[in-house]
Structure 1
């Protein structure tokens, strides 16, 4: 039996690995999100492969462990761990470079949007090495600790230390590395943590192989750091080409500036935001909305839109106030004019939080955010957000919203996308005008009779205000507002009335996802989205899921009883899947009602990981105690039932009536509520995993169950990362997702109850 020094080295190793894995996951999500022009589909794919490869690596370790003689197993694993840590240290910066170069290796032209198949292939290829390595490292440390500490304590300490290291890594990245380092620099610096842990864990009896690996890792990390600036420039140019002017990572976005064809284009998270100069885009954004108001004096711009829009706004001599709101100070600084103007102001805040709490009113509101291709962007196209905007308008005020469309015709996926935005807008505002174009512009007002559809009226207002416009001219207004063209758009959009896009039921994201897949893969690939958006599909789907769950419950209750390890594995799988979905529900709910998720996410994740660590350590109460086996089984059932109850409570909380009573007096109280929910989930999840490992170890007398159960936990989370994001949340909403998790946990509770032989 190894002493406390051996266990200390194992905890150091897994803590450093957990720290580095969290930083690596954040970096990979950000890099792939940018390189493949991602939305929640790409994020779901990343999480799916991340968890799947990690689960595979973790499951592989016990298989190899069984091939070693028992007398030499611990020594072999202990000598292998420093080498694995050294390899992981190097894999972090190499993976960032590999992601950026993948488009070149797979011959995807610069500027082309990868299709769904290419995104899946590239994501699977780029995530495999690092994630397989981490999973194998986790399993190796677990097996070494379990072999050297046979009392059942080691595995729980390993799981707790990994969760604690992951939480600290998330905080360190968001608050220290992200504001000061590029992604590649952050990866190199983070690689030093497992490299240092490899040095600490290397015992005297370790052979020359791990020592050589560690020396090579330290040398290569130092070389990468010395060449970091050039590597950053080269790797960015692999993605954007020679026209790259600047690329910077902020706590909110990746912002890239490209030079080409006499323009500078600003890309946010890989998607086009605006170009300079773009006189037609600036005129359309400003004058199509402001000409609809009789005498605009105060204008609110939501989202940083570039200095050209501000110059166009300043052509109105009667404007007294222009305010630009965006959470990213870098984007706000890029929107500033060459000279200061007292009329223009900038406010750094989350858009939704500002809109909800603003006390001033505005004549015109220009919403400059992208299509709802992510759940984060979808919150700017919901009924609730439009209601908040309506509350900001002065008497006779108008708002302007854009959505991807077409000049003459709309495809099926585009019709669904535009109609989802239009339906939410029409539900709140009494009148609106549609301007066709590659970006359809919708101008809405509270009451009928405010908006003009006569080109003569709009052109006359421009002339009286002394506006000599180059693109918003009389003839173009006649073309945009042509009755036949307007009749076509009214007809095709009325033929596909969508369900209302709401905060708690984000169907607009599903329509945008269909448009995104149709755009990248062709029209046929988006057809799988259409049926999912209908109420009938949801009712049929709910009936099918309920029937399958009922049959599974009957089989689990009256069929053959599962062995303890299989029953625990099924329970751990269901808990892993449910925790992933509930985390996404918490993130989305906080973002909807409070915004500014970017730094809050670090706190929520850290609270959750701290809860996991605390819950796993709590399972030690049942080690070597009288009646520990029976008490551990009872506590495991309580933890499982507690998670089901928590999922049910969150489903009820985030139902349709939730926002009326979640009236937090200030943001700190909201953060306390969500952190408490995340921490509670973590404690129950950590205790459930720790108790499952303890029950299986006591039952079998072996420590190999830990890595296998960890693999089942990650497999459940992987399935939920895709299914929860793409199906469960958009189709059944926040409350439906909570209730679905509660139902799944209830079914697996029956299997766990029988496998533990409790009546």
Structure 2
């Protein structure tokens, strides 16, 4: 017999409070994740560690609130919500301070452990508050567990939709993270305060939050400026901060009083002006191709190289730049000569994604220049995959050359740089039949259709230089003989071929170059995470998949032996649903980054679409989750898990093909991924309310806390494992199939449980 529901306050019209909770939570999560990427010096794994910290906090907060009494629910909810409204601006300021305090010694890279520490300090508290608020709000929603939890889940997800959309809208208007956090926190607070009296929420905590937000807003211009300077001081001690800007793609900062140093999402990317180095590089690149009539530059030449390239007989140079705000920001700081080069009539500036532009048909180019291959973020890794190189190769003229600069170990392709260079070389070799490799540390991968055009023969290169009669006081053809000495080239190419044979090719579906670059970065930082990443990356894919699925198989076996009850199976199902939903949504986010490269600015909108799906899934269970019929709820939970598994397998088939959306336009890429995120949210959003119906005998507060803990513990594990380990090792499609298998096993376990 079901237990008598825990008595509590009567159901109240609290949708606005639930909406405000979802709005504040998602806005805080997205803004703090974006800040974490910058605090972690551009480390893409920061998104995984940030979500891990956030979701672990939710699981812990829900576990601590499991025994909350109904009469204390209003007070607990008011306190947790009031703190949640302030947590985003406080977390932004704390993260910048910690980035300074935990900065590695000058010249060293930050490790993954540092990112995790900052994530736990900035995103962990917000997650903890969400975890504490959910059971308390569930008790306020009504005494019937299934109905109360479903109602709260529905409106909180709708609020999350508003929060994600609001973050994207503010980013579109170039609102900086701290003012955006204050505006959204204040909006959510206002929404909750308007109904606090009728909703039974004590107003004193809300009044305290109002005062804190007002004080932060009054001081925000100075706080923003000083904490930006403090964060830069940890990265580049002694360099004054000149200017900074947030764009849909990245955070940019300029520092220095003489030469200007550029930092993209907290990572040093170059300095200007540097006339000697830029001139030498420009002349070397120009000599690598027989003709320079038409040149395609996919970024990275506007800060000094461009004006020296134009000294060669260039008829047209197409410069592709996706980030219009970044270009405007840089243009204002460039020397007059480089600004004039951008205005040269031979230069055609195209504001588009490099992959999308290359994938379109058009006139061929004699020289295609890629930015330096250092794919420690997926935004960079997407440019050095086999698919990206094939698209660019299709734009080469007969006798044309494609050049990819890459940083390697000094003079060799050995040691820690070998897997990274090998994965990029393998990808380029799939696109073009001839690939030559120059010695390091500043190597070039030079590819073409014939050996006569793609050559590193210093005599041939020097003859090209003389034929063009370019006058230079800092470059001489003898430099080419030192850079491309035949014996050193032969030794380097032999090492590079061995590395390519021993390393999987980097593809859109499986960007292994990202894992190798991340591993190299962590090892250079002396991070234990780097050693573990290297070991995991060395595991065969079947072994890694087996390790991931083993706990689910063990749980099913335990249930078959009748040692696990239906509540335990339902909790496992919700945990598997949370992990799989997080994993599948991350796969779609990473796929979108590969297709479009604008995840930094679109993260809020895509998160909002996923949350909208959760709302639809919860709404679909409105007449199915009746706590008076646990057997019926079990059947629906089994069916919902099976449906989610089927969608997961369908997503696995779609993911390897979604990268083709990069050639179809930004709207197509956004729409395709948005629809799949909406469907993923809808398929998994039904699991939580149905799990609550199965656990209806435990009472509203205990059931909500138990499911919240299981849901977010599973999601926390997926947040850390999927982007950093499983995707580079297995690929997007295989990882989605693995997550779908976990859902299928959870469905089987619920079906056979006692």
Same fold flag (TM > 0.5) = yes
Alignment partner for residue 192 of structure 1, among 186, 197, 201? 186
In the comparison of the two structures, how many residue pairs are matched?
Answer: 733
Kindly indicate whether the alpha-carbon contact (under 8 Å) linking 2:427 and 2:506 is maintained by their aligned counterparts in 1. Answer: yes
**In structure 1, distance between residues paired with 2:550 and 2:200:** 57
**In structure 1, distance between residues paired with 2:153 and 2:204:** 29
Partner of 2:149: 155
Kindly indicate whether the alpha-carbon contact (under 8 Å) linking 2:457 and 2:486 is maintained by their aligned counterparts in 1. Answer: no
Where in structure 2 are the equivalents of 1:529-548 lying within 5 Å?
A: 529-533=533-537, 537-542=540-545
| Residue 730 (str. 1) matches residue 728 (str. 2) | yes
> What is the DSSP-based 3-state SS (H/G/I as helix, E as strand, rest coil) of the residue aligned with 1:322?
strand
Distance 1:138 1:193, change over 3 A: farther
Partner of 2:98: 102
Kindly indicate whether the alpha-carbon contact (under 8 Å) linking 1:531 and 1:537 is maintained by their aligned counterparts in 2. Answer: no
Kindly indicate whether the alpha-carbon contact (under 8 Å) linking 1:351 and 1:595 is maintained by their aligned counterparts in 2. Answer: no
- How far has the Cα of 1:274 moved from its partner? 2.5
Q: TM-score, normalised by structure 2?
A: 0.90
Provide, for residues 172-209 of structure 1, a one-character-per-residue CA deviation record: whole Å limited to 9, x for no partner: 111135523111111111220232134224328979xx
Partner of 1:432: 435
Instruction: Point out the more displaced range, 382-391 or 742-751.
Output: 742-751
Provide, for residues 733-758 of structure 1, a one-character-per-residue CA deviation record: whole Å limited to 9, x for no partner: 12211221122122222211122x5x
Kindly indicate whether the alpha-carbon contact (under 8 Å) linking 1:430 and 1:447 is maintained by their aligned counterparts in 2. Answer: yes
Kindly indicate whether the alpha-carbon contact (under 8 Å) linking 1:110 and 1:240 is maintained by their aligned counterparts in 2. Answer: no
**In structure 1, distance between residues paired with 2:140 and 2:643:** 32
Where in structure 2 are the equivalents of 1:323-342 lying within 5 Å?
A: 323-334=318-329, 336=331, 337-339=338-340, 340-342=343-345
Kindly indicate whether the alpha-carbon contact (under 8 Å) linking 1:289 and 1:399 is maintained by their aligned counterparts in 2. Answer: no
> What is the DSSP-based 3-state SS (H/G/I as helix, E as strand, rest coil) of the residue aligned with 1:562?
coil
Kindly indicate whether the alpha-carbon contact (under 8 Å) linking 1:57 and 1:139 is maintained by their aligned counterparts in 2. Answer: no
Kindly indicate whether the alpha-carbon contact (under 8 Å) linking 2:355 and 2:663 is maintained by their aligned counterparts in 1. Answer: no
- How far has the Cα of 1:459 moved from its partner? 2.6
Where in structure 2 are the equivalents of 1:452-467 lying within 5 Å?
A: 452-467=455-470
Kindly indicate whether the alpha-carbon contact (under 8 Å) linking 1:382 and 1:421 is maintained by their aligned counterparts in 2. Answer: yes
Partner of 1:143: 139
**In structure 2, distance between residues paired with 1:721 and 1:442:** 34
| Residue 23 (str. 1) matches residue 18 (str. 2) | no
**In structure 2, distance between residues paired with 1:725 and 1:394:** 37
| Residue 510 (str. 1) matches residue 515 (str. 2) | yes
Distance 1:115 1:176, change over 3 A: closer
| Residue 164 (str. 1) matches residue 158 (str. 2) | yes
| Aligned residues: CA RMSD | 2.8
| Residue 366 (str. 1) matches residue 366 (str. 2) | no
Kindly indicate whether the alpha-carbon contact (under 8 Å) linking 2:148 and 2:700 is maintained by their aligned counterparts in 1. Answer: no
- How far has the Cα of 1:610 moved from its partner? 1.1
**In structure 1, distance between residues paired with 2:199 and 2:243:** 50
**In structure 2, distance between residues paired with 1:151 and 1:674:** 34
> What is the DSSP-based 3-state SS (H/G/I as helix, E as strand, rest coil) of the residue aligned with 1:400?
strand
Q: Unaligned regions of 5+ residues in structure 2, if any?
A: 1-6, 234-238, 332-337
- How far has the Cα of 1:374 moved from its partner? 2.4
- How far has the Cα of 1:628 moved from its partner? 4.6
Provide, for residues 524-548 of structure 1, a one-character-per-residue CA deviation record: whole Å limited to 9, x for no partner: 86444445445x7224444566777
Q: TM-score, normalised by structure 1?
A: 0.90
Distance 1:436 1:596, change over 3 A: same
- How far has the Cα of 1:305 moved from its partner? 3.5
Partner of 1:422: 425
Where in structure 2 are the equivalents of 1:470-481 lying within 5 Å?
A: 472-481=475-484
- How far has the Cα of 1:254 moved from its partner? 0.2
**Structure having greater relative contact order (Cα 8 Å, sep ≥ 6):** 2
Kindly indicate whether the alpha-carbon contact (under 8 Å) linking 1:303 and 1:369 is maintained by their aligned counterparts in 2. Answer: no
**In structure 2, distance between residues paired with 1:31 and 1:109:** 21
Kindly indicate whether the alpha-carbon contact (under 8 Å) linking 1:19 and 1:167 is maintained by their aligned counterparts in 2. Answer: yes
Partner of 1:639: 640
- How far has the Cα of 1:640 moved from its partner? 0.4
Kindly indicate whether the alpha-carbon contact (under 8 Å) linking 1:16 and 1:194 is maintained by their aligned counterparts in 2. Answer: yes
Partner of 2:583: 581
- How far has the Cα of 1:102 moved from its partner? 0.6
